[in-house]
Structure 1
Amino acid sequence: MPFVIDQETVTSMLNSQVVATAIDLGIDLVKMWPLQTAQELENDARYAEDLQVRFSCMMAQTLLKRSEQIEQSVAEAAYEGMDVIPGCDRDVMHALMNANQAYDVLSTYRGVNGADLFLEAARTLGIDVEDRIERGIRGVMASVARTMRDTSGFEIDDDVVEEVGLCKSVTVDRDVLARRYLASVTVGDALLNLMCYDVEDQQEQAIRALPVLLYINGLREQLAVPHTFVTAEQLGYLIDLRDSARRFGDCKPVFANSFCPQTFVATVRYLAMFAGQEWAEHASYLRWDPKKAEQEAKDEDERRSKEALAKKFNLTKDDSSDSADSDSGTADGADSEPRE
């Protein structure tokens, strides 16, 4: 199945404000790599765990078609291996377990056998992928090396990728990072177009988008681009935007070309903002200093104690003054009573 990128469309997004803002935040994060201290490594591990918990919450909410979010404490318990929580709906626990299993499957992606892992994750999430969609997915992933080369501007040998995967070193060059990020979105756009083909219900489309989000994060890791994240609500809005782009744009049929300039632009403009937010969040994890946090918490406790003491003192002082005035008024009033 054809997967031909419109290079002019991709390049046009390099200079968009939303991408430029996100890349600035991405550069702030990747400048910290490689991590230097044990604390940074510990913080990064905590971020990775929290990211999976957030993903499992989002995925379970999407799978169950819930408007309300899954409680993070429940998701944390499922991440730790619990399959039953008293008082928790079994459907929620089952969805969380499937979400974590799919996440673990695609976390093993190293640039090879991507289609097999993608389809395994989809099956884990209860998603049926028909034969011609599967052929399209395999076609897109078979050309990932070419896509990265054409879109990103760096050399990747197709034969080498088949054996060892594609793995790029960290870059602090804004242009290179932006091109790598956009390259990953071109693949994501094609996969979303295929997975959502001929599906009218937007909630079903959101479910079918889940393995795409997981795969793209795996691809970004190979390109030394940090992971991104969206909530269930943000994913729903993205699906709506993409549907609108297809309805009102001059889009080719999916089986004529799985890359669509209109949906690609809508996806980049919407998701780049959340990519930047996630990269800023990741950086804040790495910068976290437990000693500084402990001192700040102590300072805050002392500040609150002083405020409470001052408030109590003022109230006591005011009460005493009011009492004295009241006593004085009573005495004066008694002396001024007319006498018979």
Structure 2
Amino acid sequence: MIVVYEQDLVEELASRPSMGEAVQAGVDLIDLWPLTDASRLRNDARYAETLQVRITRILARIMTGQDVTIPDAEYVYEGAEDIPGRPQDLVDALLAANDAYEGMVGGAAQGQSGKLVQAARTLQAGWSQEETKATCDLVDRFGREVTPEGETLESSSEQAEVGRRLATSMVALARLAKALHADADQAVKILPVLLYLNELNERMGIPRVFLTDDQIRQLLGEAVSKSVQDLADTLAPLVTAEWKKHLDEVVWDPEEAKRKAKEDDERKSREALQAKFAHVPEDPDKPPVEL
């Protein structure tokens, strides 16, 4: 069993009714591993690539306040350093977001808090010296207590354990947000922490998560003004949605998708035909037709 910072609070959060669906989504996803099917391995690799695109887009949106699009984020992910017709500061923000994303890999291991500090510089998060020290102290403590042997935890599909690990990630978010005095008006401060939390999830053997810019601002408002329990209640359905999306993308079968699409088209055609002639009255003298 995982032994973590604020164990009693973690146990309380893990047992909250709001966490049930998220925990089950995590169990369903973790149960697929280790992946052996070639199609599922490809699907998971594709999910990881699109997750980086989606996350770096959100980072750039918050950094710039501009309408960064998925195509913008894809171009930069694929190596573009400028995009015709798009502001260069937007592209530069995406470049920084990708550098921070990739530089954070392994950043939840013991002794790796420097990666978080570097991400904060790269993303121009505006941390003060006091905030940087408080954040590093917390991250160092998480590293010691979450994985005391210095190794990544073995994945577990036991519901209680998935709940504890997810709750640990939520407590970490709440404590780090407070240490940074981050709120909805200073969302840029929390961006390096969100990258760190996905590395923490990876280290605890649970899937990564994704939040939109609006969701990040909502959560920061709750992290400052409400309890950790309220934060968990808000975050749980967002985690559920992302973990279900991950599962759906991993198990996606193109042939099965084609078959279902064909069946849907045929059903819609039948329904449209029935609706077209629904107003035509039945002929009472018409002989029955045997099918």
TM bucket, shorter chain: 0.7 to 0.9
Q: Deviations over 1:228-260 (max 9, x none)?
A: 111000111111222322xxxxxxxxxxxxxxx
Show the 5 A alignment for 1:25-104.
25-66=25-66, 69-104=67-102
Equivalent residue, structure 2, for 1:255:
none
Work out the CA distance in 2 between the residues paired with 1:280 and 1:297: 21
Equivalent residue, structure 2, for 1:188:
173
Change (3 A) 1:279 1:137: same
Change (3 A) 1:183 1:304: closer
Change (3 A) 1:293 1:11: same
Aligned-pair identity (%):
30
Query: Of the candidates 253, 258, 276, which is equivalent to residue 294 of structure 1?
Result: 258
- Does structure 2 conserve the Cα–Cα contact (< 8 Å) formed by 1:62 and 1:203? no
Work out the CA distance in 2 between the residues paired with 1:268 and 1:300: 38
Give the letter for the 2:16 counterpart.
S
Show the 5 A alignment for 1:1-340.
5-66=5-66, 69-109=67-107, 111-148=109-146, 156-157=147-148, 160-161=149-150, 166-196=151-181, 202-204=184-186, 206-245=187-226, 262=227, 264-300=228-264
Q: Deviations over 1:41-80 (max 9, x none)?
A: 10000100111111011111111124xx422112111111
- Does structure 2 conserve the Cα–Cα contact (< 8 Å) formed by 1:184 and 1:220? yes
Work out the CA distance in 2 between the residues paired with 1:300 and 1:84: 42
Counterpart secondary structure, 1:207: helix
Once the two structures are TM-superposed, the CA of residue 272 in structure 1 deviates from its matched residue by 1.4
Counterpart secondary structure, 1:143: helix
Q: Deviations over 1:134-158 (max 9, x none)?
A: 222222122224432xxxxxxx53x
Change (3 A) 1:86 1:136: same
- Does structure 2 conserve the Cα–Cα contact (< 8 Å) formed by 1:115 and 1:141? yes
Give the letter for the 1:119 counterpart.
V
**Is there any run of 5+ residues in structure 1 with no aligned partner, and where?**
149-155, 246-261, 319-340
- How many residues matched? 274
Give the letter for the 1:78 counterpart.
V
- Does structure 1 conserve the Cα–Cα contact (< 8 Å) formed by 2:73 and 2:94? yes
Equivalent residue, structure 2, for 1:332:
none
Work out the CA distance in 1 between the residues paired with 2:68 and 2:36: 35
Q: TM-score, normalised by structure 1?
A: 0.74
- Does structure 2 conserve the Cα–Cα contact (< 8 Å) formed by 1:147 and 1:183? no
Once the two structures are TM-superposed, the CA of residue 114 in structure 1 deviates from its matched residue by 2.6
- Does structure 1 conserve the Cα–Cα contact (< 8 Å) formed by 2:127 and 2:189? no
Give the letter for the 2:250 counterpart.
L
Give the letter for the 2:239 counterpart.
A
Once the two structures are TM-superposed, the CA of residue 26 in structure 1 deviates from its matched residue by 0.8
Work out the CA distance in 1 between the residues paired with 2:168 and 2:89: 37
Once the two structures are TM-superposed, the CA of residue 211 in structure 1 deviates from its matched residue by 0.7
Work out the CA distance in 2 between the residues paired with 1:71 and 1:238: 22
